[in-house]
Amino acid sequence: MENLLEKIKETTNYIKNQVENFEPDYGVILGSGLGGFTGEMKIKFELPYTLIPNFPVSTVKGHGGKLIFGFLGDKKVVAMSGRFHFYEGYTMQQVAFPIRVMKFIGIKKLFISNASGGLNPAQQIGDLMIIKDHISLLPTNPLLGKNDDELGARFPDMSEPYDKSLIERGLAIAAQNKIRCAKGVYVGVTGPCFESPAEYKYMHIIGGDAVGMSTVPEVIVARHMLLPVFAIAVITDLGVTDNPVKITHEEVIAAANAAESKMSLIIKELILGDKL
Ligand code: HPA
């Protein structure tokens, strides 16, 4: 993306005007079938992506496509209802652009949700997994190209991609609410096909517990800007099994919808109890 910084600033100015300088402290990315989180919010402003300069437009069923600003309790939040995926044909920079903009709008922490394929035989469909680390199997990286020091370092540290204190608090909230939730390693792939049985097995052998087609580019860009990240996956299908079964997008969405209230509860409690 040419003149990335200029574009970020142009988009940020547009949004700030539209939302009358409402300054959110928390950003939330709502993954497949997880849009109901915004039902917990007192919504102040909604901006469809189609109206936002420089924003890509989502093409996938089940992805809403708007920025939602409002209060969660007394916390100011911006939620992305609908995100962008590399498999849709966007560049990595486009996929990650909204994260840049949310940081410039003022968010201090980023919360990400996604739907993932399970790689760990201990998992059941509908389990949640708090992401503690990731392995990128993506063919490229959103930070390739000229680095702008105003955004972050040329060679960003990745020793703590996911904030340790948020992970521990997230696990405690899950336990208090008797929600099945482990922590594990997320493998990021392009998709759009789901994995073959041998690929799921391989990803488990290299250390993965879940695989999905989002999140990694968003986390890389967030960490480039030193934004703390919390990410949680709902396991919508099981890849490592002796009896591979067909997986459809509809089943993934249905499983994500079924787990939605558990996921929303964890993110909501984390934000409500957070201290900046
Ligand atoms: N693989 C990749 N991405 C996914 C999967 C999967 O099995 N399930 C949901 N998103």
Output the pLDDT for position 164: 98
Output the pLDDT for position 21: 84
Q: Closest ligand 1 atom, CA of 118?
A: 7
Average pLDDT across the chain, whole number: 93
180 φ/ψ angles, rounded to the nearest 5 degrees: -65, 115
Whether the pLDDT of residue 62 is over 80: the answer is no
Q: Closest ligand 1 atom, CA of 213?
A: 3
- Considering only CA atoms, which residue is closest to atom 5 of ligand 1? 117
Q: Which two tokens stand for residue 237?
A: 């299908």
Output the pLDDT for position 61: 58
Q: How far is CA 43 from the centre of its chain?
A: 20
Output the pLDDT for position 60: 57
Q: Are strands 66-72 and 75-81 parallel, antiparallel or unpaired?
A: antiparallel
Domains and CATH numbers, the chain: 4-272 (3.40.50.1580)
- Alpha carbon distance 176, 156 (integer Å): 35
Q: How confident is the model at residue 1 (pLDDT cuts 50, 70, 90)?
A: low
| Least confident range of 14-23, 50-59, 116-125 | 50-59
State the distance from the centre of ligand 1 to the C-alpha of 90, rounded, in angstroms.
19
Digit-coded pLDDT (tens) for 102-124: 999 999 999 999 999 999 999 99
Pocket of ligand 1 (CB under 6 A): 115-117, 191, 194-195, 211-213, 236-237, 239, 247, 252
Output the pLDDT for position 221: 98
- Give the residue from 229, 12, 215, 18 showing the smallest Cα distance to 109: 229
Digit-coded pLDDT (tens) for 151-200: 999 999 999 999 999 999 999 999 999 999 999 999 999 999 999 999 99
**Which has the higher per-residue pLDDT, 133 or 56?**
133
Position 31: which residue type? G
Q: Which two tokens stand for residue 119?
A: 């790689």
